[in-house]
Structure 1
Amino acid sequence: MTEPTRTPQQTAEYVRDGMLANDNATKGLDMRIVEVGPGQATIEMRVRPDMLNGHATCHGGFMATLADSTFAFACNSYNELTVASGFSIDFIAPAREGDVLTARCHEVSKAGRTGVYDTEITNQRGERIAMFRGRSYTAKGRPAVPAVPA
């Protein structure tokens, strides 16, 4: 089936909608996709009581999941099936119950099948909470979201 002609922005939005429909992790953590575009995405998540660790701060795994989801929407925005080949995260400040965390991801480099993406997580006051760097691998010739049959 031939893909319809879309602008790069329309492609990113198409992929967002198709991926989100099957993304139980993103939906289950009540993440909200604020924006997508070619090579970039922004997602918000409110820190809930069930996300707190023994120090009453947001567990790092939830912040990594927020950043990883944002990374996924950014690196798949061209509608080429792309997966993480690795990531690192640095925690800079604690997030607390009720904080609204915003993850902003942008493409740093995309060459051949590999890419590098940086994601900054901030709270509702604009304070930096964490920095995440994701490395991607693209399976050429496979769409992230298949065409809808006519």
Structure 2
Amino acid sequence: MSSNSQATREHATLPHLSPDELARLVGHTMYEADACSRALGFELAEVRAGYARMRAAVRPEFLNGHGICHGGLIFTLADSTFAFACNSYNVNAVASGCSIEFLRPVHGGDVLTAEAVEQALTGRTGIYDIRVTNGAGETIAMFRGKSAHIKGHVIPPA
């Protein structure tokens, strides 16, 4: 994981928290406001500075006409995980671009795990790789997201 001076300055607004404590607090705050992830049953399993992990059970309504998990749901899980990782410094960040590669099908009843890892954070731009695995630990998709910091904070500075 990398860091930058802007994230450090923002962390200074809540100096009693370590970077990982801040990330967990930001993650919890965002999750409570994220109606989409909650409605889809996505579970926020872990958040650290520049890192997030989410899980989702593949429900019957997530299956497409081929009887496999709809790619849009896999993308949404990866994108949500990306959002928690790139906002973990309490500096508002949005996606400025992303791509996904689907590597194998996913069947109903499986449990997906998406793990986002910060690759670079320079100035206002971050790059995050998100690996999505099935219950057997096999990689089913790879997602890369580029983030851009915007004005504001998830948790207003003290």
Alignment of 1:78-89 (within 5 A): 78-89=89-100
Q: CA deviation at 1:4?
A: 3.2
Shift of 1:147: 4.8
TM-score (norm 1): 0.93
Aligned residues with identical type, % of pairs: 48
| Matched residue SS, 1:133 | strand
Q: Secondary structure at the match of 1:9?
A: helix
Q: 2:91 is paired with a residue of what secondary structure?
A: coil
Quote the residue 2:23 is aligned against: 12
- Quick one: distance in 2 between partners of 1:121 and 1:4? 32
Distance 1:49 1:138 in 2: 36
Is residue 153 of structure 2 the alignment partner of residue 143 of structure 1?
yes
Write out the 4+ residue segments of structure 1 that deviate beyond 6 Å after TM superposition.
Answer: none
CA distance in 1: counterparts of 2:117 and 2:148, whole angstroms: 16
The equivalent residue for 2:59 is 48
The number of equivalent residue pairs is 146
- Structure 2 gaps of 5+ residues are 1-11
Give distance in 2, aligned partners of 1:44 and 1:50. Answer: 17
Residues 75 and 100, structure 2, Cα contact 8 Å, conserved in 1: yes
SS at match of 1:71: helix
Find the partner of 1:32 among 12, 22, 43: 43
Q: 1:18 to 1:147 in 2, by over 3 A?
A: farther
- The answer on 1:116 being equivalent to 2:116 is no
SS at 2:65 equivalent: coil
- Unaligned ranges ≥5, structure 1: none
- Aligned AA (1:75): C
Q: Secondary structure in 1 aligned to 2:95?
A: strand
Q: With structure 2 as the length reference, what TM-score do the two structures score? A: 0.89
Quick one: which amino acid aligns to residue 141 of structure 2?
A
Superposed CA deviations along residues 28-78 of structure 1, whole A, max 9, x for unmatched, are 111111111000000000000000000000000000000000000000000
- 1:62 maps onto 2:73 in alignment: yes
Q: What is the distance in 2 between the residues matched to 1:110 and 1:4?
A: 21
| 8 Å contact from structure 2 (residues 53, 116) kept in 1 | yes
Kept in 2, the 8 Å contact 1:82–1:144? The answer is no
Structure 1 CA distance, aligned partners of 2:155 and 2:35?
16
Asked if the contact 1:41/1:71 (under 8 Å) is kept, the reply is yes
**1:144, distance to aligned residue in structure 2 (A):** 2.1
Q: What is the RMSD of the two structures over their aligned residues, measured on CA atoms?
A: 1.3
